[in-house]
Structure 1
């Protein structure tokens, strides 16, 4: 183990310790009635409908690419307890900057999620993915893909937990609605976002990729950020049950992820640096 790897591990643990208290310590201080506590357990159990399939898929992909599963697990931990609180801080900072530009409170409230999360969250989740591969000394494409999946998955779990817990505390009906909402949008969400963005950054910055591959990497990053932006924007909201934008965003994100997986299976050992 190199000195850089050892230092990165301790820094990772430092940031994760902050995140554990930020995410779970804060939640443990919330006051739940006995009935609300039972509702919370039930609602979180319902979330298993999306969490379990995503985990099984991620584990199967790691096995098929011969990537050690501990990379997936470490990335999940980092995505939950490092990317989460760093993204919160990043979102808050962008909000402050935007408040000096957007003076109308109504417009600010409508667009704040779209103007913060796609930029802050995608940056910090990808940062965790590359942090993990640096710690374990892997510099190939397949490891980056699995680390990206894990970081996004961990982030998605902790975000779902927070949303459902807050809604459960406010009202049972709102919590059930929120849980269903998290499931409906759970596939084309953070798990796939981070996997695609991480691979995109790898392809853009790798010393061995060709121009066509770098353009594909740029598409992975830009399309995901735009997808996240539109998903959080007022354009997403509609009174109609048939939402063409949702279908378009889902198709583009899942389709791009499939392309990423196929490319990675074709060149799993593509290095980041020249040999």
Structure 2
């Protein structure tokens, strides 16, 4: 009965998110040209979303993890973590505006602080649902579930930005989604993977494997830190030769590969 109740709660939260994320395009107030802008932008979004999801399920099969928990984590990251983060970010913004409306610091760093502070914990929620519902315990499987949750969040967030940019016109919306596609090589899927691996290792360290504590905190802070820096003014630095985003991309890919190697070693040792 308890498992059924947890499943119902997951589906209820998921349904809220689905309705929340699609309400603006189902209300019927947009013009035909606006729907066209969204349609073309979504097609561009699918250029990376479809291969990414395919790779996710490919590794799921390769690592002998059922596709169902991966799907739950993917959908949960998009439609549970998404709307929870949206509300949290909105309330945080309103609080900052009430307390320090003209602060240069908060104008520059609000999203850098609010993003990892709210989004990273919320992206873990669907993973915890899946761990309970499907009794997933292998670190390698948990690593993949974290990637799935982060990827789901990333795709839905990209769609939200399409809706947000749409009133500015075709060129603005398309350039916006193209920019997010290029920057999405290292984005939420990396942050969540690092964050979750770090948390897992910290928990294991508290259960006796103390040698994992330092590594766990490293990945935990790395996931949070990458998200912070990516949302900070550093990520907006423009130079003649692009350096800021490529640097963050290289760091993110390097760290997630190191996390994979750590996961691989731990998985083989069990």
What's the counterpart of residue 245 of structure 1?
A: 244
* Cα distance in 1, alignment partners of residues 2 and 60 from structure 2: 26
Q: 1:93 to 1:167 in 2, by over 3 A?
A: closer
2:205 corresponds to 1:211: no
Corresponding residue number in structure 2 for 1:139: 137
1:88 to 83, 86, 89: 86
What does residue 33 of structure 2 align with?
35
- Residues 142 and 269, structure 1, Cα contact 8 Å, conserved in 2: no
Which residue number corresponds to residue 191 of structure 1? 189
Contact 2:126–2:149 (8 Å) recurs in 1: yes
What's the offset of the Cα at 1:116? 0.6
Count of equivalent residues: 269
Give 3-state SS (helix, strand or coil) of 1:31's partner: coil
Kept in 1: contact 2:183–2:245 (CA 8 A): no
Corresponding residue for residue 259 of structure 2: 260
Distance 1:214 1:152 in 2: 23
Paired residues of 2:72 and 2:130 also in contact (CA < 8 A): yes
Q: Aligned runs of 1:1-275 on 2, under 5 Å? A: 3-29=1-27, 31-99=29-97, 102-206=100-204, 210-268=209-267
Deviations 1:216-274 (A, max 9, x none): 22111111111111111122222324343323321221111112222223333778xxx
- Return 176-185 or 19-28, whichever deviates more: 19-28
Q: Using the alignment, how far apart are the partners of 2:164 and 2:60 within structure 1?
A: 33
1:107-144 superposed Cα distances (whole Å, 9 cap, x missing partner): 43322211211110011002221221111112221221
Deviation for aligned residue 1:53: 2.4
User: Per-residue CA shift, 1:61-88, capped at 9, x if unaligned?
Assistant: 2122111111111111111110001111
Distance (Å, rounded) in 1 between the aligned partners of 2:139 and 2:13: 25
TM-score after normalising by structure 1: 0.89
The 1-side partners of 2:232 and 2:66 are apart by 37
Question: Structure 1 residues 167 and 213 mapped into 2: Cα distance closer, same or farther (>3 Å)?
Answer: same
SS at match of 1:130: helix
Query: CA separation of 1:270/1:199 partners in 2, compared to 1, >3 Å: closer, same or farther?
Result: farther
Equivalent-residue separation in structure 2 for 1:39 and 1:27 (angstroms)? 12
Q: Which runs of 5+ in 1 are unaligned?
A: none
Report the Cα distance in structure 1 between the residues aligned to 2:41 and 2:19, rounded to whole angstroms. 23
CA deviation vs aligned residue, 1:2-30 (integer Å, no higher than 9, x gap): x4422221111121121122111233226
Instruction: Return 91-100 or 58-67, whichever deviates more.
Output: 91-100
Q: 1:30 to 1:105 in 2, by over 3 A?
A: farther
Secondary structure of 2:137's counterpart equals coil
More helix by proportion, 1 or 2?
2
Shift of 1:51: 1.1
Tell me the C-alpha RMSD between the 2 structures. Answer: 2.1
Contact kept, 8 Å, 1:15 with 1:82, in 2: the verdict is: yes
